Structure 1
Amino acid sequence: MSPLRRPARPAGAGFRPLARGATVLAAALALLSPLAGIAPAAPRAAGAADAEVQVNAQASLGRLSGTARGVNTAIWDSHMNDPEVARLMKAADVGAMRYPGGSYADIYHWQTHTAPGGHVAPGTGFDSFMDTVRATGAQPILIADYGSGTPEEAAGWVRYANVTKNYGAKYWEIGNEIYGNGHYGSGWEHDEHADKSPQEYARQVRAYAAAMKAVDPTVKIGAVLTAPGEWPDGVVGDGDPGDWNHTVLSQVADVVDFVSVHWYAGGSDTTAQDATARLARLPGELREVRSQIDRYAGTGSPRIGIALTEINANTGGARLTARPNGLFAADAFMTAMENGVFSVDWWNTHNGAGGITTVDGETDYGDMGMLSSGACTADVCEPAPNTPFHPYYGMKMTSELGTAGDTMVAAASSAQDVSAHAVLRRDGRLSVLLVNENPDAARTVDLAYAGFTPSGTAPKVSRYARGDSDITEVTGGEASASQVTVPPYALLTVTLEPRAGTGPGAAAAGTPGTPRLEAVTDTTARLSWEGAPGAARYLVQERDGVHTRLAGETTGTSVTLRNLPPGSTHTVDVLAADASGRLSAPSSPLAFTTGTPADATCAVTYHRDTGWGNGFVATVTVRNLSDTAITGWTVDWDWPTDHQSVSSGWGATFHQTGSHVRVTAPEGAGPLAPDGGSTASFGFVGANDGPNPDPTVFRLNGTVCSGG
């Protein structure tokens, strides 16, 4: 294992992403509720627009956490604790630093500061690392040695860190990419356990959690999961009850506080749009992680966070230090945080030179680090150590959007080469980040707002474009609240002041607490939340992308939503209105899925028999629970994503249109007996490109069935 490169993943383990926001048409604004109507912006600047970006300041995507922006640091990195590192990371509002470095974590012994079989650079000990963490103002994310360690060794590290030294280290992962220990045929992660199954990992996680929390009950324990739709997701090992994620979560959901997932875009592309196309899959993968947590943690699911503890464009090849990866970094950090991740940790602070190419007229060093390590490939050397590469400025630009406690809100772009993200500040300002992925042309963008009325004051504009050596504040020019021009291959953040007397800062009511799901049936959901001071009433709204609609209203702190479709997924938040009707900022969102009717006249069991990352085999069993026989049946379902399909099947006739599947009884099939007296069973080979969630609703001859 080279001290500067991560072990290669097996074939088929490339990491792909999900949607940063659907394309939005101006006519769709009619779907917005009156409480989120379009606010008139300042007079439009002259010039035809190439794109329209719509921002709904009342559609919450969650709060920015103090650990939102993070980086990995590795004990083989001799520059990890240079004073310049802390200065740069502090300037980018980095709130998390992960140690001791990826796969090295599973050979690292903290007491002796050794990693048998690996390289440990001088000056990289735990106390030196913590000096850098504290100088940055960040929180450590520490990886306990699972591969060659013990629960007792990890507990000793907690004791030293939080009792002896009083560092207050909160987040502790158990191992790195343990699913890569060879159990599924490919292995890069060191694991000395004789049993390398997910069951054994789960048993050990429980032992680690017990030992570590016995020392400090306040620590947060994280278990390793694989990204849904990425190898080895869906693969069931010999003797295992399920694949890695389902097996681990079923046994540890009651003792862990967060899960750790890694995500790489994959490929060796040279343009920003190449990787961003794969970034379109990341939200779906994160939704599936949350769905898996929901399944096994139940009402305890909200307390379990998701950390994306490694992310980058790819694991080798071109455009790693180049401008396209800087654009990708900004887009990826915000996409992950908008989809429920509390910490996004770039791989790596320093990494080392790889293949040398030219991208966008600049030398790309094939380096997965944010900062130069000063290394060389043949006779080509990187700039001086700690010189920032473009991904650093991409991450830093996201700090122009907001800080801990600010609210991420929905934004959507009409153009494929312009992405948008927005944050409602606690002081009432609104910041919008625009990413122009077109290398050849500037993009003029019209801006429209719901739930926010900009003042007539010129916006603050921060830019990172060709020719800029850092984030640059732009003065003058044609930028206004209604239209801005983004240079080619550039990042632009526009920060707007609210019109006097408008915005959440003008409301006498505070922000309500995050809604909780108290009970759910096939057609209803009962929600409750912590009240807000100064609230006269509460508005519950449902979000669909950038659009919202009023779903409920009450003077209390709970509401029951009715007439919901069975098996449907909903995302809601709550706003408080004061006595004058002025609205607060939205609460953090809650996503939930309704069930299927308990008294249905049919039942369908869907079982994934096996999988291999981008394909699977499933069996479906149908029972007739009515009091009359059914002759000639059809079973219908809709795939939850656009990237799932039936490839071939048996025991029935299959037809798929878009995401809808209809299965028809084979010719000559006998009737389905009443009262569950007989069953029909069929199977198929499916394909998935990205996450592979199970369908939520099955219909037998048009009737919604129960799920078992």
Structure 2
Amino acid sequence: MDVESETPVNLPIPRGGVRPRRLAASMALTVAAALTCGATAGTTARAATPAVNVTVNAREGLGTVPDTAYGANQAVWDGQMNSPATAKLLGQAGVRMMRYPGGSYGDGYHWQTNTVSGGGYVAPGTDFDSFMGTVKAMDAQAILIANYGTGTPQEAAGWVRYANVTKGYGVKYWEIGNELYGNGHYGADWELDDHADKSPAAYAHNLVEYAKAMKAVDPTIKIGAVLTLPGGWPDGSVASGDGGDWNQTVLPIVGSYADFVIVHYYPNGPTSAADSLRQTQLLPAQLAQVRQEIDQYAGPNGRHLGIAVTETENTYQADTQPGALYNADVYFTALENGAFTVDYWDTRNGMGNVTTAPDGATDYGDGGLLSSGQCNGDGVCEPPLNTPFPAYYGIQMLSRVARPGDTLIRAGTDDPLVSAHAARNADGGLSVELVNKDPDHARTVDLDYAGWTPGGDTPTVYTYGAEATSITTAREGTATTQVIPPYSIVTLKLTPSPDNPIGTTSAAPGDPVATDVTADGATISWQPVAGGDVTRYEVYRQFGTDSELLGESTSTSFTVRNLRPGTSYTLNVLAVDQKGHLSMPSPPVRFITGTPGTSTCAVTYDVATSWGSGFVANISITNTGPDPITGWTLAFTFPTDTESVSGSTWNGDYSQDGRHVIVTPAGSDAYLAAGAGNTVTTGFVGDQSGPDPSPASFTLNGTVCTTTYSS
């Protein structure tokens, strides 16, 4: 299948799709070569720009790094996927999650015969047992794509039996299909799917049958359901005959049978390296909307569903330095916002269109972590086989910051071209990663720490410079001042002061849960700290890089009051010992307060339709109070800065300041009779450049209204 000819214009071509079927034939002809790394001169740092302020708050925990965190895709068209060099290089990069058998190939792959429906190329030595040998050699684990498109529940159950009963491999994570929304139901047709009914409802009902058959063999496995990423195609699209979009349809059906959901994240049509790197800033809101949709549609089991980002890659000149900067940023961004694995697409992808980056570096159109060692018809050749591309070093730098078991903590920066991520390490230290996305200028970074005090030692600094062929190590700068070269990744390893006030006496409280969430309160419960001399627990709200102490408790629960209706909250719990020292922060608990059950006004917010760059919203306003209203002002706030009101509105005058929107009457709609006697409907066309979650609350003349949603 030729993706370019069969995919409609302006619809997405999957990175994990069938393109590799063409490159695989040339890859099969590649002669294995010894690992070599050609030296490329890095960019010389120019004069540092004015200081960048970075704040690290050790009270604000973002979750423990799981052993599944750092992953990569393996594809059966890659004849080198199980070579010793592959295992060695990926192991050295800290990869501990291996996805198989390769993107859209998963919906055509038959594990018993190591073949792909439709004649897709499969390289020798890529069968399942050989793959698992590599996984075990790396001390990693597998995430497998069960063939939904051309397979059956029985075939998938047979794979579980062979893997976990016959061979004892203990494969825990199983995806049911790949990008099934690309099966033609919405127009684009890259994913193999032989089912007569290709709707999201059919996928969901069939997933239930897969889950039942597979868990009958091994009830300990985890089943993953395919979702669309908010703000990406075809999110928001409702096809003929469907009652909602893909996520709205799939989640209610699979909620009681799935254990995690699957999304793929790629920059959306980037026009430059700067654009692709900027778009990672949209990912937190996109993942927050995924969680919101899970909570809304998946039923009681929804809060137990994990989120897996099983494909990601910089789609603009991925073989050059932006590929490294992207990986250093996107992995931690996803993990900080609830993902339990991030899997790069892919280890080797094969040569494509050759271009030259602005800094003179060559991009081979490959997108793999390691070179395939190919040449094109013009005589241009990739580096020797297995030479790491910069993207590889971006992943390798992750383990310099946080290893499994470490705790990610909040770090913020006041420069959009500098990203910051941080972790508390198991040895008591703290690590800070700084990513300079400016290709021309260094940055002087001033660091400030809350809830943790660095020692006076000169920090160990790991640096991956522009187009470098290795990561360097030096002791330089201080814990509070560092100079970050252009287009580089820098990690500081810091030791604590002897009187450090946090994390020295006890482990973190476990897994807080929010219950009884109302418009103005919630009850937070958590698992106690085992051992130690804990005297009380403190509950903090994350507020940017600031922490707000909400209260304390001598038990393992606390009721938070006086919260704002329709507001997103992220809280941490920390234990306090007899000396007043704080523990490590608990994993975060996130929730959104509701709107009042009763009010003198009611609002219905209806997203009538949406598409990749916009949506149509209707707002109904009802006076439910005892007194009439003459003249009204409706106010709401978009949850993200990727949404805005366009110039097209009706039955109301709209003004917007940042994310805040004010609506006033137009014409005769200023009067609202008392006692639900009158409803005014207004609306607008919205622009979006990413996710488009609905506003969480509305006020009418300053009163918070009861709010309902329809779509």
Question: 1:453 & 1:670 partners in 2: Cα distance?
Answer: 57
Of the candidates 145, 167, 192, which is equivalent to residue 165 of structure 1?
Answer: 167
Tell me if 1:303 matches 2:301.
Answer: no
Does 2:542 align with 1:572?
A: no
Shift of 1:49: 5.8
Amino acid corresponding to residue 188 of structure 2 in structure 1: S
What's the counterpart of residue 655 of structure 1? 655
Question: In the superposition, relative to structure 1, how do residues 9 and 501 fare at CA in structure 2: closer, same or farther (>3 Å)?
Answer: farther
TM-score, L = length of structure 2: 0.90
Matched, 1:152 2:154: yes
Aligned to 1:33: none
Q: Which moved more, 1:250-259 or 1:6-15?
A: 6-15
Q: Cα distance, 1:484 vs. partner?
A: 1.7
| Aligned residue identity for 1:204 | N
The superposition leaves residues 6-31 of structure 1 with CA deviations (integer Å, 9 ceiling, x where unpaired) of 99786254999xxxxxxxxxxxxxxx
- Cα distance in 2 for residues equivalent to 1:15 and 1:484: 40
Instruction: State the partner residue of 1:94.
Output: 95
Q: Distance in 2 between matches of 1:177 and 1:229?
A: 16
Counterpart of 1:224, as a letter, is V
Tell me which of 352, 355, 371 is aligned to 1:354.
352
Shift of 1:621: 2.0
Give the aligned partner of residue 239 of structure 1. Answer: 241
Q: Does residue 276 in structure 1 map to residue 274 in structure 2?
A: no
1:514 to 511, 517, 542: 511
Change (3 A) 1:54 1:649: same
AA at the equivalent of 1:354: G
Q: Is the 8 A contact 2:7 2:13 kept in 1?
A: no
The one-letter code of the counterpart of 2:528 is G
8 Å Cα contact 1:538/1:556 also seen in 2: yes
Is 1:9–1:188's contact at 8 Å kept on the other side of the alignment?
no
Is the 8 Å Cα contact of residues 429 and 493 (structure 2) preserved in structure 1? yes
Matches within 5 A, 1:585-600: 585-600=584-599
Q: CA deviation at 1:657?
A: 3.1
2:365 counterpart SS class? coil
Task: Specify the code of the residue in structure 1 equivalent to 2:172.
Answer: K
* Residue from 172, 177, 180 that aligns with 2:179: 177
Amino acid at match of 2:100: Y
Cα contact 1:49–1:446 (8 A) shared by 2? no
Q: 2:63, 2:413 → 1: CA distance?
A: 20
Contact 2:185 2:199 in 1 (8 A): yes
CA distance in 1, matches of 2:213, 2:138: 30
Per the TM alignment, residue 653 of structure 1 is displaced from its structure 2 partner at its CA by 3.3
- Tell me how far apart the structure 1 counterparts of residues 554 and 213 of structure 2 sit (CA, whole Å): 46
Cα offset for 1:562? 0.6
1:467-616 aligned at under 5 Å gives the runs: 468-475=468-475, 478-507=476-505, 509-532=506-529, 533-534=531-532, 535-616=534-615
Counterpart CA distance in 1 for 2:435 and 2:633 is 47
Describe the SS at the equivalent of 2:527.
Answer: coil
Give, in whole Å, the separation in 1 of the partners of 2:361 and 2:657: 46
Using a 3 Å threshold, how does the CA distance of structure 1 residues 196 and 141 change in structure 2: closer, same or farther?
same
Q: Taking structure 1 as reference, are residues 666 and 486 closer, same or farther at Cα in structure 2, changes over 3 Å only?
A: closer
Is the alpha carbon distance of 1:467 and 1:207 closer, same or farther for their aligned partners in structure 2, counting shifts above 3 Å?
closer
Report what 1:43 is aligned to: none
CA shift, 1:170, in A, is: 0.6
Deviation track 1:114-166 (CA, whole Å, cap 9, x = no partner) reads 11221111111011111111111111110111111111111111111111111
Measured in 1, the distance between the counterparts of 2:87 and 2:8 equals 31
Give matches, 1:406-485, under 5 Å. 406-466=406-466, 468-475=468-475, 478-485=476-483
- Structure 1: distance between partners of 2:594 and 2:13: 34
What is aligned with 2:209?
207
In the alignment, what sits opposite 1:288?
Answer: 289
1:683 and 1:240 mapped to 2: Cα distance? 24
Q: 1:637 to 1:466 in 2, by over 3 A?
A: closer
For 2:605 and 2:477, how far apart are their aligned partners in 1? 54
Q: Which residue of 2 aligns with 1:328?
A: 326
Matched letter for residue 54 of structure 2:
V
Letter of the aligned partner of 1:329 in structure 2? N
Quote how far apart the aligned CAs of 1:643 are. Answer: 2.1
Instruction: Rate the CA distance shift 1:700–1:11 in 2: closer, same or farther, 3 A.
Output: same
Letter of the structure 2 residue corresponding to residue 530 of structure 1: Q
* Distance in 2, Cα, partners of 1:672 & 1:558: 44
Say whether the 8 Å CA contact 2:643–2:689 is kept in structure 1: yes
In 1, Cα distance between the equivalents of 2:245 and 2:277?
A: 28
- Matched residue of 1:293: which SS? helix
Instruction: Give the one of 114, 128, 131 matched to 1:129.
Output: 131
User: Residue 194 of structure 1 aligns with which residue?
Assistant: 196
Cα separation, 1, equivalents of 2:383 and 2:493: 33
> Aligned with 2:206: secondary structure?
helix
What displacement does 1:501 show? 4.1
User: How far, CA to CA, are the matches of 1:144 and 1:386 in structure 2?
Assistant: 29
* 3-state secondary structure, aligned to 2:290: helix
State the Cα distance separating 1:289 from its structure 2 match: 0.6
- Distance in 2 between the 1:506 and 1:73 partners? 41
Q: State the match for 1:698 in structure 2.
A: 698
Q: 1:409, 1:422 within 8 Å by CA — same for their partners in 2?
A: yes
Deviation at 1:519, TM superposition (A): 1.0
Tell me whether 423-432 or 461-470 shows the greater mean CA deviation: 461-470
For residue 217 of structure 1, report the CA deviation from its aligned partner: 0.7
**SS across alignment from 2:559:** strand
Q: Could you tell me whether the CA contact under 8 Å between 2:630 and 2:672 is conserved in 1?
A: yes
Structure 1: state its 5+ residue gaps. Answer: 17-46
Distance 1:541 1:254 in 2: 32
Partner residue of 2:39? none
Instruction: Give the residue type in structure 1 aligned to 2:83.
Output: D
Q: What is the distance in 1 between the residues matched to 2:74 and 2:254?
A: 27
Take 1:187 and 1:699, find their aligned partners in 2: how far apart are those partners? 44
CA-atom RMSD in angstroms: 2.2
SS in 2 for 1:510: coil
Partners in 2 of 1:413 and 1:6 — Cα distance?
44
How many residue pairs get aligned? The number is 670
Counterpart-to-counterpart distance in 2, 1:600 and 1:455: 54
- Closer, same or farther: CA 662–418 of 1 in aligned 2, 3 Å: closer
TM-superposed CA distance for 1:298, in Å, is 5.3
User: Aligned partners of 1:655, 1:333: CA distance in 2, in Å?
Assistant: 37
Q: Which residue number corresponds to residue 40 of structure 2?
A: none
**2-structure distance, mates of 1:380, 1:164:** 47
Question: Identity rate of aligned residues, in percent?
Answer: 51
2:61 aligns with 60
Deviations 1:656-683 (A, max 9, x none): 3332223333322484443334432233
| Mapped partners of 2:9, 2:516: distance in 1 | 43
Is this contact kept in 2: 1:226–1:233, CA < 8 A? yes
Q: Note if 1:258 corresponds to 2:265.
A: no
Distance 2:13 2:577 in 1: 50
Asked whether the 8 Å contact 2:390–2:468 carries over to 1, the reply is no
Is 484-493 or 623-632 further displaced after alignment? 623-632
CA spacing shift, 1:167–1:288, aligned 2, 3 Å: same
Q: CA deviation digits over 1:506-527, x for unaligned, max 9? A: 22x3210121012111111111
- Contact 1:15 1:265 survives alignment (8 Å): no
Secondary structure of residue in 2 paired with 1:376: coil
Structure 1 residue matching 2:511: 3-state secondary structure: coil
Could you tell me which residue of structure 2 aligns to residue 374 of structure 1? 373
Change (3 A) 1:667 1:403: same
How far did residue 268 of structure 1 move? 5.3
Offset, 1:384: 2.1
Whether the 8 Å CA contact 2:413–2:419 is kept in 1: the answer is yes
| Counterparts of residues 668-707 of structure 1 (less than 5 Å) | 668-669=668-669, 671-707=671-707
Q: Is the 8 A contact 1:143 1:174 kept in 2?
A: yes
The yes-or-no answer on 1:624 pairing with 2:626 is no
Counterpart amino acid of 1:656?
Q
